[in-house]
Amino acid sequence: PGNCWAFKGHQGQVVIRLPARVYLTAITVQHITKDASPSGTINSAPKDIAVFVSLLGTSGGALALGGDREEETLLGMFSYNVEKDPTQTFTLKNMLFPRAFSQVKLIVKSNWGNPRYTCIYRVKVHGK
């Protein structure tokens, strides 16, 4: 507990570079339980999450974090539920774009009420 990837505020994003090109099928997000939290609260857990891939990055190029030229595709929007299991897996909608990707962008749009920071303990990217 407390050893997490934390970012300021209730919104943030991370781009994960995969070791190989992957046909993405799901993403897993993990946080600690309320019982394991030293403060007794887990309001720093992510709540609303979006997962994107870059169609322009399919040839192995870098996934741009800004700019007008980047063409990103949403593979799913999910809500991490602090009342459920601390490890939650969400199925991605890669059926519309049946190709492998070398990077994935995870955007946390909100957390469970902590105004100062948001914590993520583990993200797993699943695929073939």
- Establish if 48 belongs to a structural domain: yes
How many domains, in total, are found in the chain?
A: 1
Q: Is residue 60 part of a domain?
A: no
Phi, psi (deg, nearest 5) at residue 67: 100, 160
> Looking at the DSSP assignment, which residues form a beta bridge with residue 78?
49
Each of the 128 residues of the chain gets a pLDDT tens digit; together they read 878 999 999 999 999 999 999 999 999 999 999 999 988 899 999 999 999 998 765 444 444 455 445 688 899 999 999 999 999 999 998 666 678 999 999 999 999 999 999 999 999 999 99
For residue 34, give its domain range.
5-55+72-127
CATH number of residue 39's parent domain: 2.60.120.260
Burial of 10 (C-beta count, 10 Å sphere; 0-12/13-18/19+)? buried
